[in-house]
A and B are shown apart, each in its own frame.
Chain A
Amino acid sequence: MAPGAPATPLPLGLLPRLLAAFSGTTGLVIKLVFLSLANAMAVWAATVLVRDSRWIALSVLVAATLAIDSVYLSRRAVPLKFLVPGSVFLIAFSVVPVAYNVNVAFTNWSTGHLLAKEEAIEGIERSYLAPPADGRSYLMAPARDGRGQLVLILVDEADGSTFVGSRVGLEPLRRDAVEIDENGAIVGTEGYQLLEADELASLDTDLSAYTVPTKDGAAIRPEGFETAVELRPTLRYEADTDTFVRIEDGTVFRDNGKGSFVAASGEELEPGWKTRVGVENFTRLLKDPLVRKPFFRVFVWTFVFAGATVVASFALGLFLAIALNLPGLRFQRTYRSLLIVPYAVPAFLSLLVWRGLLNDEFGLVNRLLPFDVPWLFDPAWARVSVILVSLWLTFPYFFLVSLGALQSIPSELVEAARVDGAGPWQVFRRITFPLLLVAVAPLLIASFAFNFNNFNNIYLLTAGGPQASDQIVAGSTDILISYTWKLAFEAGKGQDYGLASAVSIVIFLIIASISALSFWRSRSLEEMR
């Protein structure tokens, strides 16, 4: 087919011919290329899984790869050849994220609860260190003693006294035994062999963990290659009771079952760890006043926002579609193309431009109006603005859809109604609109579900604001999803992925039930046909 030629429906023989083409050598080569790539990816993934000893995942991977290979290399299983790619993408992009989300909703994954428990214990042991009251810091040079053991040559920063530190303890060294250059670095020692750069590098782990015990549990620890500091742990981990004890006053920090070591006073050790917390996130939704109080208002507004956007956009789009569908209109194509512009411009850009246009004092809209409207600063007006901008972004979609649907309605039906004496309004109400609705209803539902979760519109235009004076977290234009975002990322200590996942599951349930109900209702429309 020449480029630019009008599209013609597929000739009847094309499909079998296409199939035949793909069954030949060309098809085989294409198939092999894709299959080889898939296998190569599987092998790469397998090496990663083997290295991380994730045997269950590995066995799933091997089974899936073998299954895919056998489907495509065998001559049977033709339906499966068509189903497999779709299923793989469905699992990868829908099932796995949903399962992951559900999984997260039952954990405490949030700021301060990121690591595994062992890592957290290690982290606490490593960071709860403090210099003792008379703690000293030293210039340091790692060296080997006569027997080849790793020792630290130390020069007290305060008084210049020199020592050699070993795993046993600190021993004084003659001052003139240590040679210090003009930059203050240790460059030579009598009786000890200073380590060279490449040897230091290979001893990094030993050096990082090296301690020279001093007194009262304190020890000199290397900080890098040139410095050592005397530090004392402030906490002691007791493995048999799984508790931390503060050495200073004996306070006991116990595992509270929610991923933290907590004292009776409520004091908490950081970091905590990521763990399962059951339905804690869901009960928080019910109990926490921060969540509970504004929930209903936000919930209602979300409906209003999504409903108003869909209804208004559909009404406007349909009106324009009917108007521009009139036969004999001049510049019909120009008008149609112009109307699609808001749809063609990236929504991000439009939203930011609108935010500027609607600025109360400096925005173009208010400058053109004879009076000032507090578009973004007054709660009620901000809601209007949000809906108007959504309308701007959404109506071209419904315009396009309605235009297509209108053209697919057989003109005989309309003519027959006219002959029977129906006026234009009656024709629209009784013939055109119901037939249109059959095609458009599922799209209306989809659009509602989309706007129900239209985070960008809200966040980029008003960021949920202006703040409602009665509100805690939720602003006047926050919808459920932007409110969730604020709860999860702008409250407490910042990130709370567990809570956010729990709320998104609740939102999913709401949308799913609305959609199910609507689809069930819209089936009655189809019966009209």
Chain B
Amino acid sequence: MFTSGRLRAVAGLAVAALVAVVAVSSGSSATNQSPTIRIWVDNVQKPAIEQITSAWASSKNATVDVVVKDFGKIRDDLKTVQVENAPDVIVGPHDWVGELAANGLVLPLFPRAAVRALFPTYALDAFSYGTAVKRLYGTPFALENIGLVVNTKLARVPTSFADFERQALAFKKKAKGNIALAVPQGAGGDAYHMYPFFSGLGGYVFGRNKAGNYDVSDIGLANPVFLKNAPMIDQWNKAGLINSKIDYGTGKDAFLKGKAAFWLTGPWETKTLKESGLKFTIVQMPKIKFNAVPFLGVQGYMVTKYATDHGVESLAKDLVGSYIPSTDVQRTLAGANGRYPANVQAGKQVRDPVLLQFGKAGVGGVPMPNIPQMASVWSELGGAWVKATRGSGAIPARVAFRTAARNIANKIG
């Protein structure tokens, strides 16, 4: 039996030993010779980025550290991350760009004209942001937009909006439980999926100033042209063409069960559509008063300000600005997400019929505005649609959209 004094000495020694072990092990994280570039991606992009960076990294004598994050966390964590854990390159959609740039977290890129020419103008525009001088903040690699999916067993591809309206309403009347158009809204609204109707009636979110930047004082939710056309929304509501009580789940369910002949959705449902066994064609919503174009979403890679802190700025810019734009890389990256590649040459190589149809459905589309003020827009624009299309309790569309426009102006302040 130890005496208690000796016990305590042993105790002290044991504690000191463990402390020493930890101290040594924490100090011995060897400094790497070759520079490391850390990339934050979601699990969908991980295999693709690992594949394309392996050849690149060995030619640059660099190491690539791919860190998988939940998609939304990439943006959120970038705001709070410690410098030593921060990424040098991130993947993200173009509508993050305004917020990230306003926060000073991403670096502007200035690619050569030859590189710019690889992309459609709107894809680069989607990744550009600036209150006075516009700068490019990322290299796009994938495009997405919604389209009108037509179940060709239940309806013909509409030749005009009137034709669409007629077919949809006739289908609705055919059986109880049928819905005219599966476009998701629900109590919270969905401005993104409703955008073809909004643009088709002459609506826009923000106007542009002379320099081509978004002008947040010009809110297009209550522009005279749109307001003039807005009573059409009341008619659609009365006839039951659009019903805000349909949310994503109910709409998708109805289409897959043959209780809706039309579905407004995007390429993220490609797999579901192919596996459903339904016969379908995807087109752009027919022209209403104007072309009923969807919002365009662009995904891309960005260089963060931490690349400078880590001393790998040129390396990161080489990856994002020179290597990722190339055709083969674009095909791999976009393919991983099942999206249309942003690179025009890679786009021409797409053979998947569903993807091609979605691509055509996006022609003339408008990139979602990427300015941080969009935070004030989504719920209001979606809410206006909900209020105007909730069946018998609906309020006139003019009132709903005027209110929404006023609210947005107030929220932006």
Contacts and interface: CB of A to CB of B under 8 A. Distances in A.
Interface of A: 28, 31-32, 35-37, 39-40, 43-44, 47, 69, 73, 75, 111-112, 114-115, 119-120, 123-124, 126-131, 137-139, 157-158, 197-198, 200-202, 204-205, 207-208, 221-227, 229, 231, 234, 267-268, 270-271, 288-290, 355-356, 359-362, 374, 376-378, 382, 462-463, 465-467, 469, 472-473, 486, 489-495
Nearest to A202: B35
Nearest to A157: B112
8 contacts: A115-B103, A129-B108, A129-B110, A267-B132, A271-B104, A377-B393, A469-B403, A490-B411
Given A157-B114, A223-B110, A224-B321, A472 B407 contact: yes
A112 B11 contact: no
Interface string B301-321: 000010010011111011101
A224 B209 CA distance: 32
Nearest to B313: A208
Given A111-B99, A208-B308, A270-B131, 10 more contacts: A40-B22, A111-B375, A223-B109, A270-B104, A355-B187, A361-B243, A378-B393, A490-B376, A492-B376, A493-B99
A224 B131 contact: no
Contact of A36 (B4, B19, B376): B19
A289 B411 CA distance: 10
Contacts of A495: 79
Interface stretch (B39-47, B57-65, B140-148): B57-65
Interface in B103-117: 103-105, 107-115
Interface stretch (B167-175, B245-253, B265-273, B280-288): B245-253
Contacts of A222: 314
A225 B322 contact: yes
B108 A473 contact: no
Contacts of B346: none
Contacts of A223: 109-112, 317, 321-322
A221 B399 CA distance: 53
B410 A224 contact: no
B204 to A, nearest CB: 20
Contacts of B244: 377
B395 interface: yes
A201 B410 contact: no
Pairs A-B, 10 closest by C-beta atoms: A271-B104, A224-B318, A123-B104, A493-B372, A494-B375, A224-B317, A208-B313, A36-B18, A197-B61, A40-B22
Given A47-B26, A462-B187, A494 B99 contact: yes
Nearest to A486: B379
Nearest to A382: B187
Given A270-B102, A359-B247, A128 B133 contact: yes
A491 B108 contact: no
A323 B102 CA distance: 61
Given A204-B313, A224-B321, A227-B322, A198 B103 contact: no
Contact of B131 (A111, A157, A267): A267
Interface of B: 4, 7-8, 11-12, 14-15, 18-19, 21-23, 26-27, 34-35, 59-62, 79, 99, 101-105, 107-115, 131-133, 135, 186-188, 243-247, 249-250, 305, 308, 311-315, 317-319, 321-322, 372-373, 375-376, 378-379, 383, 386-387, 390-391, 393, 395, 399, 403, 407, 410-413
A382 B383 CA distance: 15
Given A123-B305, A290-B413, A361 B312 contact: no
Contact of A112 (B22, B102, B390): B102
B15 A32 contact: yes
B104 A32 contact: no
A293 B363 CA distance: 43
Contact of A268 (B103, B131, B375): B131
B213 to A, nearest CB: 12
Contacts of B109: 223
Contacts of A489: 375
A494 B372 contact: yes
A112 B103 contact: yes
Contacts of B247: 359
Nearest to B311: A205
Nearest to A31: B11
B375 A493 contact: yes
A359 B313 contact: no
